[in-house]
Amino acid sequence: MDKTVTDAVTEALMSGWITTGPRTKEFERQLSEYCGVKKSICLNSWTNATELFFRYWGLGPGDEVILPAYTYSATANVVVHCGAQVVLVDVDVNGLMDFSKLKAAITSKTKIIMPVDLGGLPVNYDELIRLVNEPGIKALFKGNNEMQSKLGRIMVFADAAHSIGAKKGNAMSGAFADVTGFSFHAVKNLTTGEGGALLFNLPEAFDVEEIYKALNIKSLHGQTKDAFSKTQPGAWQYDIVEAGFKCNMTDIQAAIGLVELARYESETLPKRKALAENYLKLLKDKSWAILPAFMNGDYETSYHLFMLKLKGFNEAMRNEVISEMGALKIATNVHFRPLPMLSFYEAYGLRIADYPGAYNYYANEISLPLFYDLTFEQQEFLVKSLTEIVKKIQKS
């Protein structure tokens, strides 16, 4: 955070609007414009935003949602919260949902396919949209309510928690799927401290203003008016039309988001791309380095993570690398432990042996630091240290 951000937050605090107010509405408007969609709603996290929409869409017991085995737990947790069934598909060499295995996972119970843009790299949404529109797949689909029947096919919901700013030509992440979920968590490229958003790219038959209004009500205890609406003269009276949730975004968060969005294309993305390309340059001749992809066909990443894989390393060796780097005060990470390796999802009945692609991606993956204030000099020191550690472990 810099002075521009702290000034914006101070201005929000002094304005008298610290909950959902004019800044949140403006952030929603600018986010929609940036991504090229008609409407967005900003809420307090990707998780709550996604669950809120799934409940609005009518997802529940007896329904299935297909997602990749390689993702953070939130992707699956929201499905469990709604009482629906998590169905996993293995991943390809880039850690993305393997579409060659997807069709076999689709049943008459499938209501949503939720791919994950791992590290900011989008899946091929054109291919996915074609798949759900195939006559045989559409004929299998059974809508549970008027909205699902109006769509007439499986919904494509993008877990784009990592991929704001990813693009395909002039098209931006947010406009690839029917509905897209962004995360603005503290570690994301564009942050509001905590926060998330839904972006709507549904067919013309859907009234996005109506959806926006319904989700606002659902996000505020089922209350028909938010605090901003109630400030208008004589407009205090409200109603509760359902037992809703509480997951609205505040103007303090939106104040941060507006600053970050204003400089995202001109400063944040170019810097992250330059850092990623510098890693590629420093690592390109290392025989042990399997470099991450930053293009998936015509789709370009948002450069959220640098997910390096260590050739010939197993899980234990990779973990030793992380420990040795930590001893040098270089923080590295693993994104992620596949869902079937987590206790809850093991108990759910999932087995990592059924998802070899996910395990193989995980076993030797190490995420190198990639953040705005990282310097080229720090990267050089990091790669030099990593090289020495890798060679040492290879010899042991």
Strand 155-159 relative to strand 167-168, pairing:
unpaired
**Residue 230 binned pLDDT confidence (cut-offs 50, 70, 90):** low
The Cα–Cα gap between 376 and 360 comes to 30
Strand 306-310 relative to strand 365-368, pairing:
antiparallel
DSSP state of 101: G
- Three-state SS sequence of 120-153: HCCCCHHHHHHHHCCHHHHHHCCCCCHHHHHHCC
Q: CA distances (Å), 259 to each of 6, 160, 183, 214, 256, in order?
A: 10, 21, 16, 28, 5
**Residue 231 confidence (pLDDT) above 70:** no
Is residue 113 located within the same domain as residue 66? yes
**Residue 370 confidence (pLDDT) above 70:** yes
The encoded tokens of residue 382 equal 């990091």
Is residue 377 located within the same domain as residue 387? yes
Q: CA distances (Å), 207 to each of 26, 79, 307, 377, in order?
A: 20, 25, 39, 51
- Tell me, what's the pLDDT at 237? 85
**Residue 281 binned pLDDT confidence (cut-offs 50, 70, 90):** very high
The Cα–Cα gap between 379 and 308 comes to 14
Mean pLDDT of the chain: 97
**Residue 234 binned pLDDT confidence (cut-offs 50, 70, 90):** low
Residue range of the domain that includes 337: 264-395
Is residue 247 located within the same domain as residue 274? no
CA dihedral 312, 318, 323, 327 (to 10 degrees): 40
Domain boundary at 212, 229, 262, which? 262
Of 96, 303, 94, 47, residue with least CA distance to 188: 303
pLDDT per residue as tens digits for the range 292-307:
999 999 999 999 999 9
Per DSSP (E only), the strands in the chain are 39-43, 64-68, 85-89, 110-113, 155-159, 167-168, 171-172, 179-183, 196-200, 289-290, 295-296, 299-300, 306-310, 365-368
Residue 26, burial from CB neighbour count under 10 angstroms (0-12, 13-18, 19+): middle
pLDDT per residue as tens digits for the range 181-192:
999 999 999 999
- Tell me, what's the pLDDT at 1? 73
Is residue 277 located within the same domain as residue 198? no
Of residues 95 and 224, more confidence is placed in: 95
**Residue 366 bridge partners (DSSP):** 308
Domain boundary at 262, 278, 303, which? 262
> Which position has the token pair 């791309």?
273
CA dihedral 132, 138, 140, 145 (to 10 degrees): 100
- Tell me, what's the pLDDT at 367? 98
The CATH number covering residue 302 comes to 3.90.1150.10
The Cα–Cα gap between 22 and 184 comes to 19
Is residue 209 located within the same domain as residue 351? no
Is residue 129 located within the same domain as residue 197? yes
- Structural domains in the chain (count): 2
Is residue 273 located within the same domain as residue 243? no
Residue 229, burial from CB neighbour count under 10 angstroms (0-12, 13-18, 19+): middle
Is residue 126 located within the same domain as residue 91? yes
**Number of Cβ atoms within 10 Å of the Cβ of 262:** 14
Q: What is the average pLDDT across 14-41?
A: 96
**Residue 396 binned pLDDT confidence (cut-offs 50, 70, 90):** confident
pLDDT per residue as tens digits for the range 102-122:
999 999 999 999 999 999 999
The CATH number covering residue 254 comes to 3.40.640.10
Is residue 258 located within the same domain as residue 369? no
Q: CA distances (Å), 43 to each of 181, 187, 212, in order?
A: 10, 17, 12
- Tell me, what's the pLDDT at 5? 96
Grouping H, G, I as helix, E, B as strand and the rest as coil, residue 318 is helix
Residue 371, burial from CB neighbour count under 10 angstroms (0-12, 13-18, 19+): exposed
**Residue 225 confidence (pLDDT) above 90:** no
Is residue 240 located within the same domain as residue 317? no
Domain boundary at 214, 239, 262, which? 262
Is residue 213 located within the same domain as residue 306? no
Q: Confirm if 289 and 308 have CB atoms less than 8 A apart.
A: yes
pLDDT per residue as tens digits for the range 195-223:
999 999 999 999 999 999 999 999 999 99
Is residue 37 located within the same domain as residue 183? yes
